Amino acid sequence: MVAINLLSVALATLAVAPRAFGSPLEPAVLEARGRTHNGKETTDRPVIFPYPLNTGKKFDETPKTTKTCFVDALGNGLDDGPNILEAAKKCNNGGKIALLDDLYTVRTPLDLKLNKVDIELQGTLKFVDDIQFWEKNSFKYEFQNSSSFMQIGGKDVNIYGGGTIDGNSQKWIDAHAVNSWVWRPILITFYNLDNAYISHINFRYSPNWYILVHTSKNMIFDNVSMAGGSSSANAPANTDGWDTYRSDNIVIQHSEIDNHDDCVSFKPNSTNILVQSLDCNGSHGISVGSLGQYPKYFDIVENIYIFNITMTNATSAGRIKVWSGEYAKPPSWVEGGGGGHGRVNNVTWDAIRLKNIDYAIEITQCYGQSNLTRCAEVPATLKISDVLFRGMYGTASKKYDPKVGSLVCGGVENCNNIYARDINILPPSAKSPVFACTNMNQALLDIPCV
């Protein structure tokens, strides 16, 4: 059996307390004990730690705050961004930024480099939907042409309060339906951040990914709610919940996600990450990748544990997606890719409950290349090893009935020690479930391959 060494705590099944998808978190879950401003009171920061499992790595306690900067909303659609930035400057190095009003309108890119700072958000932080402005002024990142309304970096940061960060996405949804090149911002990026705790925050209506964890480490996300949608006939696109990139020692736990792409996605150089006790609805699964898109980089995803997840109405549950061995640019892709190097190593999906899933397991080394014959001729250079799918049970959708999974490696040497154990997925027809398996060691797969 493949060695799985990430976790330092024995596995245990944890029941997730139900909550309706998209229902906001209540500030009342935090004990009110602080300073009063305009009739509202600040609260103590919640105590957050990995539970029931942990990564085996250290998370430091952040210092207590010594001063508070209240931000009063201007109202009438006026831009509160400059006042938020000023509060961040005044209360940096040991203070709390208190956003207690009902609605803050933001037209200013928020670049917050913080040290020993709490952000308490009780109301809603809402970005204006001026597409032309944000195309010019959002924060840009090289990876996959991404950009963001807001980025937070620094050290020892806590964000909490029961409030909402709202991306006001409808205009972007409709614009993207007409032109896929429209630059749609990520809701929030944590960039060069060390030792942070984000809890009891609602993320709503992102034009693109909800959260990008970029070049950061030692972070815990706990009791987070994500949801979005569309009021038109056009559906949201690329609304990943979390994307991790060049980041280490990250915990994502006890949260609910209702979105239209990956619930969590581990992008290049994501290491030592624990995802546990999530409810994911409408997603593309919890995914490794895509990897191998850029030939000049060596991509690593290593030491990942996904535990106790409920996955509902999704295209996949556990997914690994690697680009093929040569550059490809299908017409639907904004960017092409392929031929990149790297490895996927020591990744586990464990105790996954499925409801109406197209594929329980999906592995491809032909991402971006629809011609499987050509993919085999020029197989992926990125290797996959020591992967375990265990304790996956529930129901499949009718889309591929009776097929409930697809495991495709570009070459027989590319995938090593891929295990599937205790997999019990029922297609709606009640036929015997089958998995499509290509270039896999079927002796390690306790599933029926065709």
Q: Mind listing the pLDDT tens digit for each residue in 397-437?
A: 999 999 999 999 988 889 999 999 999 999 999 999 999 99
Distance CA 128, CA 150 (A): 13
Tens digits of residue pLDDT in 57-82: 999 999 999 999 999 999 999 999 99
Residue 243, in any domain of the structure:
yes
pLDDT value at residue 372: 79
Per-residue confidence (pLDDT) for residue 333, from 0 to 100: 52
Mean pLDDT of 290-310: 96
Task: Tell me how far CA of residue 272 lies from CA of 8, 11, 18, 384, 385, in angstroms.
Answer: 12, 17, 28, 16, 16
Stretch (H or E) spanning 176: helix 170-178
Confidence at residue 19, expressed as pLDDT on a 0 to 100 scale? 38
Q: Is residue 289 part of a domain?
A: yes
| Local confidence band at 331 (pLDDT 50, 70, 90 cut-offs) | low
Domain that holds residue 41: 31-444
Q: Residue 376: pLDDT above 90?
A: no
pTM: 0.93
Local confidence band at 317 (pLDDT 50, 70, 90 cut-offs): very high
Asked whether residue 14 is domain-assigned, the answer is no
Question: Which amino acid is located at 105 in the chain?
Answer: T
Q: What would the pLDDT profile of 384-404 be if each residue is shown by its tens digit?
A: 999 999 999 999 999 999 999
How do beta strands 264-266 and 188-204 pair?
Answer: unpaired
Determine, yes or no, domain membership for 213. Answer: yes
What pLDDT sits at residue 330?
A: 60
Q: Residue 315 pLDDT > 90, yes or no?
A: yes
Distances (CA, A) of 202 to 260, 358, 371, 391: 17, 28, 41, 30
Residue 1: pLDDT over 50: no
Question: From CA 371, how far away is CA 126, in angstroms rounded?
Answer: 44
**Structural domain total, the chain:** 1
Tell me how far apart the alpha carbons of residues 288 and 320 are, in angstroms, rounded to a whole number.
Answer: 5
Average pLDDT over all residues of the chain = 91
Three-state SS at 136: helix
Please give the share of the chain, as a percent, with pLDDT higher than 90.
83
With respect to residue 282, please indicate whether it lies within any of the assigned structural domains: yes
Is the pLDDT at 17 greater than 70, yes or no? no
> Is 10 a member of any domain?
no
Confidence (pLDDT) at 370: 77
pLDDT of residue 133: 98
- Indicate whether 20 belongs to any domain: no
CA-wise closest residue to 211 among 170, 162, 159, 272: 159
Domain with residue 47: its CATH number is 2.160.20.10
pLDDT of 23 higher than 80 = no
CA–CA separation, 181 vs 76, rounded Å? 32
Contact 344, 318 (CB under 8 A): no
**CB neighbours of 142 closer than 8 A, spacing ≥ 6?**
none
| Model confidence band, residue 24 (pLDDT cutoffs 50, 70, 90) | low
Q: What is the pLDDT of residues 245-254, one digit of tens each?
A: 999 999 999 9
> How high is the pLDDT of residue 25?
52
369 CB-contact burial (10 Å; exposed 0-12 / middle 13-18 / buried 19+): buried
Cross-strand bridge partners of residue 448: none
Candidate list 200, 254, 284, 341, residue with the active-site label: 284
Q: Is 341 a catalytic residue?
A: no
Give kind and range of the element (H or E) at residue 173: helix 170-178
